[in-house]
Amino acid sequence: MKKSSLVFNSSSRAMNTSVAGHQVSQSSRHKWNFAGSQTRRNSILVGGSNRKRNILDRNANQAPRKPVRVLDNDGNDVTPLPLYHAEPGDMPSKPGRFLDEIFSSSESDQLKSTSSFNMRSFGSFLGSSLPSSLSTTASMTKGTEDSVPKLDIPIIPPPPCGQRKRDNVKQHVTEEMLDDVVDVCLTETDTISLFDLPPLIFMSEDADDTKAIKERNLQYAELCKNRTGNDKYVERSMQTFSGAPKEKQIQTDKIVMVDEGSTIGSLLEMETCSLNAESNPELIMLTESFQHSLLVMERSIVANLFQPKLAAYRQLPIIKDPDSTVKPETEEKSEEGEESSSSPTLERLWAFSCELTRGWNITCMVWNKENPDLLAVAYGDCDSTNQKPSLICCWSLKNPTWPERVFHCHSCVTSLDFSANNPSQLAVGMYDGTIAIYTVQSRNNIHCIANSSECSKRHLKPVWQVNWSKQEITLSGEDRVEALVAVSADGRITKWLLCSNGLECIDLMKLKKTKNSKKKAVESKKKTEHMGSALTPGLCMDFHPTDSSVYLVGTWEGLIQKCSVANCHNVLETYQNHFCPVNSIEWSPFSPDVFLSCSSDWTIQLWKQECLTPVLSFTSAQRAVYAVRWSPNWSTIFAAINGLQVEIWDLNLSILHPTIVHQAAPGVTVTSVLFSRGTDCVLVGDSEGQVTVYQLKNLSVGQGKQVDSLEDIIGSAVSRYL
Amino acid sequence: MAEVEETLKRIQSQNGVQGIIIVNTEGIPIKTTLDNASTVQYAGLIHQLVMKARSTVRDIDPQNDLTFLRVRSKKNEIMIAPDKDYFLIVIQNPSD
């Protein structure tokens, strides 16, 4: 019998024997590819058992070297036998057999301790070693049953012959050995591969990159080989700090889910879909923003074309287009033209005209009170026999090629006026006596907001002029109420108010006929009897620029009557000089006492308010003067039209002759004139539907105070009389 | 609709207008008076330009937005009215 002991044999590879002071018997060394695994298995198994029982107990029971003896009452040594003895070479092990059943190899070597208990005593049996042969398994089994009935685990039972060995071992174990420090060395086994399945990537040999892949595989295998012991590869451990998590709660809006279904139609539907795609452009084109874009685009294009003219109008320097391809010939011509005209003249800038208005006769032009770029023009033929419909166009300076608004009226429009309080309201007086208020604001909505056709006291004869006039000051001191005052051929001056039903009117004044002062007494009787026929048509009127309760009316008889709003029976003054109908009358914007009147008797008269006879009188052509207008920029300039020509008078230069005379084109009669505020341009309307914008050139207007110059002239004129 | 058509006709008949292109959001021309090749070229190039211009304007002030873009070149002027649904492009040669 060999002395057996717990043998902690070193493995064939790397491990050191750890038991000092004990007999270690060498065992035969075999290759133990699988034994090691068995070892581990065993250790696991045995270790598992340890959990069930107290480790110390276990050790106590197992180690034959432990000097623990259990004696019963009789003194018999009933020390439990160790569970296992490691026998060199010829101890079959049940676990070995157990495991051998699992692993096919029968080669195993004695052991290896992989104990992990660092105890004073020997390590445990956990590092159990395996006997190699299987032959003595049966005997082992027997022994196991005897020694350790409690254990369920197939622990390697000590062989029956192990008892003797145990005794031997016991003898060797002394007290001193208890105190020995046993070094238990823990080592790591090599990586034991239990299962090696080569990569199952099936590569077809025909694949293009098979070769490449194979090469890469080889390279990788070599890389792995070279990894160990290579300086390039360094193993290092790291620790990452995990920050303390913090809970944060947020809230979101509920995500709204909408179920939507759609069906994909057949090809037929696809074809129609392509048509629908075309209808989308229509949808786009109908949108408000598209129309606005069109508007802006049109204005930009037109601005490009009219830029020099508009710049001249606005008195901006005209910048020559550096890229323009204007031929040098025309430039020469224009230079020549400039040299010759150093005398005052009207230079044509452009004309507002379009297809729509071609051929119409212009009756009235008026600027918007708030937007100085907006011009309203009335087109129509005032023919008493034919009631022809007429047109009102609102033009913008930004687009002289097409009006911004077009209104159709059933009757010829004779007069227009924009309101000052509501700048979008346009008052219209018509040939049939209707007064209407239009709004120019939006393109699509209804334009006519009020009509006097239902009013009982409406005019039945042509309305020759309409005027908005600010009248009373309200109690709260806000904007003064604006009243629409109209002069009509039936001799009445009416004030119209816009109320919920429409327009309502109040008579301000009735223009009574007065022939000669001699016949006054006779007439007065007639007046009371025939109120209707005793009224003379009023042709024009103008409110005093500062005192809005006073206004002037020019009548068909040639009288100019100054009336007051407050007094509806009597006139304040009568200015009598003309013997033909007074066509136009206007207060001077600079001098509050001065007004101009023109008449079909070929004359233009300048009056001073206090003086009942005109201060100055102007005649140039032997033709009826249809309109006269003061210039809003210079006090001594006014314009007059007499059918075939436009005359610009500058009183500074001459009171006998007009400074500029501009002939209309042959066949065309000039019907309307309008100055524009802030620029040196004048607009002339003719019978062809064209509103031409002229610039006053080379007018040497004095820089002195406007009022003074006019007063001076008048003063000098008056002094001539005296 | 008739009014819109009329306005387009008027624009087309203005002096020097070479072409009008209306492009939808995807960059597909939906109405044009030029030939196909030019239309497609203009549509593609101008789309990028407008995007860049718009982003420039908005980068400077996020509350601002591009409303009109005019590109004046030696030979002509390209005017673009961008919107979220469409681009309206007009090419004009003002000196004609």
Which range, A19-23, A104-108, A164-168, A693-697, is most confident? Answer: A693-697
Cβ(A64)–Cβ(A82) below 8 Å: yes
Q: In chain A, which residues have their Cβ closer than 8 Å to the Cβ of B15?
A: 305
Least CA distance to A321: which residue of chain B?
Answer: B95
Inter-CA distances, B52 with A195, B47, B69, Å: 63, 9, 11
Mutate to test the interface with B, among A285, A309, A350, A442 (most CBs of B within 10 A): A285
Interface of B with A (CB under 8 A): 1, 3-4, 7-8, 10-11, 14-17, 22, 24, 30-31, 68, 70, 74-75, 77, 79, 81, 83, 85-86, 88, 90, 92, 94-95
Q: In chain B, which residues have their Cβ closer than 8 Å to the Cβ of A285?
A: 1, 4, 22, 31
Residue A653 has, within 13 A of its CA and on its CB side, a CA count of 16
Percent of all residues in chain A with a pLDDT value above 70, rounded to a whole number: 64
Does the distance separating the beta carbons of B90 and A297 come in below 8 Å? yes
Give residue-wise pLDDT tens across range A231-277: 777 778 888 888 888 899 988 888 888 888 877 655 544 444 444 44
Least CA distance to B29: which residue of chain A?
Answer: A281
The whole-number pLDDT of residue A575 equals 87
Q: Write the DSSP assignment of A166-231 as a string of letters.
A: HHHHHHH--HHHHHSPPP-----PPP--S----------TT-TTHHHHHHHHHHHHHHHHHHTT-T
pLDDT at A111 over 80: no
Percent of all residues in chain A with a pLDDT value above 90, rounded to a whole number: 2
The average confidence (pLDDT) of chain A is: 71
Q: In chain B, which residues have their Cβ closer than 8 Å to the Cβ of A402?
A: 10
B30: closest CA of chain A, how far (Å): 6
Mutate to test the interface with B, among A289, A300, A301, A319 (most CBs of B within 10 A): A301
pLDDT at B90 over 90: yes
Q: How confident is the model at residue A282 (pLDDT cuts 50, 70, 90)?
A: confident
Q: In chain A, which residues have their Cβ closer than 8 Å to the Cβ of B83?
A: 289-290, 293
Does the distance separating the beta carbons of A402 and B90 come in below 8 Å? no
Does the distance separating the beta carbons of B95 and A324 come in below 8 Å? yes
Does the distance separating the beta carbons of A294 and B8 come in below 8 Å? yes
Task: Taking residues A50-61, report their average pLDDT.
Answer: 44
pLDDT at A16 over 90: no
Inter-CA distances, A411 with A311, A359, A366, B58, B75, Å: 37, 17, 19, 53, 49
Q: A372, A370, A365: which is closest to A413 by C-alpha? A: A365
pLDDT at A524 over 50: no
Segment among A100-114, A209-223, A271-285, A377-391 with least mean pLDDT: A100-114
Task: Taking residues A436-450, report their average pLDDT.
Answer: 80
Q: In chain A, which residues have their Cβ closer than 8 Å to the Cβ of B75?
A: 323
pLDDT at A292 over 80: yes
Q: How confident is the model at residue A170 (pLDDT cuts 50, 70, 90)?
A: low
The whole-number pLDDT of residue A48 equals 39
Cβ(A119)–Cβ(A184) below 8 Å: yes
Which range, A114-118, A324-328, A706-710, is most confident? Answer: A706-710
Q: How confident is the model at residue A302 (pLDDT cuts 50, 70, 90)?
A: confident
Cβ(A406)–Cβ(A447) below 8 Å: no
The whole-number pLDDT of residue A141 equals 44
- Higher pLDDT residue, A677 or A1? A677
pLDDT at A107 over 60: no
A674: closest CA of chain B, how far (Å): 28
Task: Taking residues A429-443, report their average pLDDT.
Answer: 85
pLDDT at B68 over 90: yes
